[in-house]
Structures are given as C-alpha cells and as structure tokens.
Amino acid sequence: MIERPLVAGWSCAVCGASVDIAEPFSWACPRAAGGGHHALQLVQSISPLRSSGEANPFLAFRRYLAVDAFMGAHGLTDLARAALVAESDSLVAAVAGTGFVTTPFERADALSDALGFSADGGVWVKDETHNVAGSHKARHLFTILLHLRAAEQMGLAPWLQNGTGRPPLAIASCGNAALAAATLAASVSWPIQVFVPPTASPSVTDRLRQLEAHVVTCPRVPSDPPGDPCVHRFREAVAAGAVPFSVQGTENAWCLDGGRTIGWEMARHMEEHIEGPPFDRLFVQVGGGAFAASVMAGFRMSGITPRLHAVQTEACAPLARAWSSMHERQLGKADTGSHWDECMWAWEHVGASAADGILDDETYDWLPVVSAMADGHGSPVVVDEADVLEANETGCRTTGIDASHTGTAGLAGLVALRREGPDQVQPDERVAVVFSGVRR
C-alpha cells in the first residue's frame, strides 16, 4: 500500500513551483533550467516531534525525513526503509570509523562562567567534532546518498536501466564538506569529483585522494563571472551529468533534509533533559547558509524558535549585507525571493580569516536564514578576527573540545555581542551554539 507521507514535497521560495515528494532526483527547482534564482523548500505537515530513542538520528527521526517519505511514496515498506538507512550507516562506519550517532549537547559550565553568565543562564554546546568525517557536513549529504541508493533499489535510476554506470558525484569544497562527501562516496564505491581552490590544504587533498576522490584544482580565470571558481566548475560538471553532492540547498535541496537532524536532537534534548525555560538565542556560523537553515528548520518543527544570530566574519559577510538591503528596501520575508539580485550577490573581495570554512562568496541558502531571523527577531552578527581567535581559544580551553576556528565561529558571535555590553545578552539568558567541526 502506497503511504501518504508527512512530507508532501517541495515548493520554490522564488517562483512557487511545486515538486511532489515521489519525484526522483529532484535536486533543484524544475524551472531552474530557464535561468534565474530558485530555492526549493520542504512542504511538511506539522506533527509532534518525537524520537524513537535509537542512537542514529536518521533512524530516531526517520518518519520526519523527506527521504523516508520519498521511499514510502514508492511503496517501500517501513521495514525496508529502516533497513536501507541502517545498512548505509554501516557502510559509512566501515570507512569513517563511526556511523551517525546523536552528538553531545550540554551546558558548558566553565565557558558560561568565562563569559559572565549566571547560574540561571549559560551556554549549551552541541559537539559535532566526533561525527562522521569530523563535522556536521555528512548529515547534509547522507540524505542525498540515501535518495540515490533508494532510487537504485527501487529501479528508478536511469544508469541501471541504460547500463551507462553511475554518474559521478560532484562537490565544490576544500574542507569539511569535501571530506564528508568523499567519505560517504567511498562507503558505497561511488565516483566523486571534488573541486578545490589552489590554496586547498595539502593534508585535505591528500586525504581526499586516499578516499579515491578525483580532486580538481580550480584557479580563477579571466572569463569567470563573479563568484567562486570552484562553484563554477562544479556547476559545469553537474550540467554535464554529475550528481550535485552539495551542501548548498540551491544546488541540491535534499541536503536541507538531513541537516535538520541537528535541530531535532537539540530540541528534544532541551525538552527531555533541561529544566526551565527554552533557549533564548541560537548562534550559528554561516558560510553557504544550509547549516543555519537546517538547524532552525529542525527547531521550528518542535515549536521552539530561539532568536537566531547568523554569524559571519568581516572578511566575507554577504548575508549581513543582504539583511541590510532588505531593511533599506522595506522588504518582508515573503518579498525577498523576488528581489534576490538586489540583496544577495558575490562578495567582491574575500579576505582572510582563521574561520576559512565560512568564507563563501555568497550565502546561497540565505532565504530560509533571513526568514528564520525575521520570525524570531534575530539578526546577523559580523565578527572581527580577534573575536574569531578569542572564541576558539576560550571555547576549546574551557570545554576540552578540539574544534577548528570555523567550528567555533558561532561562539564568536556571542563573544562579540557580550563585548558590546551586558544589555546585548543578559547574564540569565540561555544560549545555544554548535561546535561544528574538528581542528585539522
């Protein structure tokens, strides 16, 4: 019997096009081929957020995942869907040394004291540094991988029908996302192309090659339009038939599905294990924007809407500029999609920062992030390099978590606001941050 899922499908936040959840390989808006900007978002029924209690979040929250709804819409039984998730996780664990598990989320007492919070308030840290490939990025990509494997199992993959072989996966990244993508690809022996800048760390590119990824170096060439040349080469590969194995929702909306597991874990932990009021604020580091968009989507499904602060550095802050442009033009969140080019464009001169993992030329998934900030009366925070360095030193020293500067960049937003004065963040407020990646 075909099930009608909790997730009905996708809707484009820009043009309004709809895509049914049963549609395979629905990476982007169907009208995107005609040019212009498009951004798919999930259309999902409201349902009480509950966990099955399993350690793997993709099993614990499976009934809320779009990829589970996709499989159910094609008649795959509940048992078969769970089995595919579990099997895929086992394959990932064989390569990564760990599968997906619920990661720690606790009040950081020493950090809270260092930042001047009272016993009633404080900072809760979600630690993603021991996740698959050392960051949160694999969560985004796992639902894309599940979609691909399910399509093969259900006979929907054209490469099995015509005998051409699996198309390569493709990603533009030189950090945690690249390592996560290559790890997941290796787990199922799927070919992958990773587009990196000339400045990519040799330790990262060496590891990518160990995982049998095809590493493509992408220098900027005079004929390139504004923006990241790695993204340009990635898009050319996708146009030639590669699968966008991307953590940018505008390139593959399915990455927004798995990322929500972080928010679900945080929300359920708060409801089940933390006494007192809910979180007042959530600080999330923002590069391409899918991380913040997904975490807040997960929170909002639980009915919890902390004030979101999207954190970028002075070296590259296109989201903060877009937020200012929205307010200058008096645009509501429903109007932003039709004014994309007036608000979001590539940062002209990307500077240097220790938090180099969030120096995306554009905040690709900016629409859901500004929407979440508007709903919760949040705001972007732009930090200087001193904030980035201080947050990493203080955060790692007081928690014992060996996170990268990118991974602690959300905390830098809190450090910056606290420096402005106690009126910005009260000592009794409850604040959540995510340490999103290990130091390499």
Selection from 39, 30, 66 nearest residue 367 by Cα: 39
Residue 438: predicted pLDDT: 96
**C-alpha dihedral over 71, 75, 76, 81, to 10 degrees?**
50
What is the CATH number assigned to the segment(s) 105-134+259-435?
3.40.50.1100
Number of H helices, E strands in the chain: 16, 13
Domain ranges of the chain: 105-134+259-435
Residue 5: predicted pLDDT: 55
Residues 6+ apart with CB under 8 A from 356: 175, 405, 406
Residue 3: predicted pLDDT: 45
Cβ neighbour number for residue 239 with a 10 Å cutoff: 9
Report residues of the chain scoring pLDDT below 70: 1-5, 46, 422
Selection from 139, 97, 145, 105 nearest residue 123 by Cα: 105
DSSP assignment string, 114-173: HTT--TTSEEEEEE-TTSGGGBSHHHHHHHHHHHHHHHHHTT--HHHHH---PPPEEEE-
pTM exceeds 0.85: yes
What is the SS3 assignment for 413? helix
The secondary element (H helix, E strand) that includes residue 9 is strand 7-12
Residue 2: predicted pLDDT: 44
Residues 6+ apart with CB under 8 A from 430: 121, 122, 124, 276, 277, 278, 279, 280, 281
Residue 181: predicted pLDDT: 98
Copy the structure tokens of residue 223: 């004929």
Q: How far apart are CA 178 and CA 171, in angstroms?
A: 7
pLDDT tens for residues 151-182?
999 999 999 988 889 999 999 998 999 999 99
Residue 99: predicted pLDDT: 98
Residue 372: predicted pLDDT: 95
Q: How far apart are CA 211 and CA 208, in angstroms?
A: 5
What percentage of the chain's residues is helix, strand, coil (to nearest 5)? Answer: 45, 15, 40
